[in-house]
Amino acid sequence: MSVDNIIPDQETLDRFKERFEEIREVKDNEIKTIRLAALMTDMESAYDIPLVGPLRIAAFNQSFSEVMELYKQVSQARCF
């Protein structure tokens, strides 16, 4: 996939942020964690976020820091 296909537009990123805020309000931790995992999967698909390869991850983080910041927040909000 080319970089042109994964450039985050602000509208899409804002929708993911809104969805994250809605999920954070869920009281049931099991449901919240499932929904957060689904949000992460959707972000991975939308932005082609690399899950392996330290150099690829570092390059993506540098190029798309706002996307990665939200992705990390979502990941850390899960309850285990």
Confidence class of residue 1 from pLDDT cuts 50, 70 and 90?
very low
- How many Å apart are CA 30 and CA 28, to the nearest integer? 6
pLDDT number for residue 76: 98
40-72 pLDDT, tens digit each = 999 999 999 999 999 999 999 999 999 999 999
CA atoms within 13 A on the CB side of 76: 6
pLDDT 10s digits, 12-47: 999 999 999 999 999 999 999 999 999 999 999 999
Neighbouring C-beta atoms of residue 27, cutoff 10 Å:
6
The overall pTM is greater than 0.85? yes
CA 58, CA 54: separation in Å to the nearest integer? 6
